Amino acid sequence: MFNARDKKFECEPPEKVKRDVLEVFDYQYPGKEISVVTTTEEFTSVCPFSGLPDFGKVTLEYVPDAKVIELRSLKYYLLQYRNVGIYYEHLANKLLDDFVATCAPKRMTVTIDFTTRGGLRTSVKAQYPR
């Protein structure tokens, strides 16, 4: 007889995600603060406990200093999480740490709104500076 409690799908570790996929370009208006907001509703990662997929909306909002994250590279970076097992709370902090290390913004917020699972809806927000 099949026992779902003993079933776990295989997943990749978070270390598989490489920050160097992210590219930046120079912000040509130093001294003029702008807010950059980028959203995708196509984000997927995997629950590290069960291996089942998690789906979410990722919103990246930041005020650039000298560098701006290039969007194509951001998409490739986020696609690396497709088979990565990571808890929501760790994911928000890893995204924030990688983005801050890449573009050194003045301020940044990463918000992830995950779809409902088991009747629970979760939203996680990480901010820089902390």
Active site amino acids? 47, 54
Beta-carbon contacts of residue 40 (< 8 Å; ≥ 6 apart): 57, 58, 75, 78
The residues with which 38 forms a beta bridge, in sequence order, are 60
- The rounded distance, in Å, linking the Cα atoms of 79 and 86 is 14
Closest CA to 65 of 105, 8, 29, 100: 105
65 and 104 Cβ atoms separated by less than 8 Å: yes
Residue bearing tokens 């560098």: 67
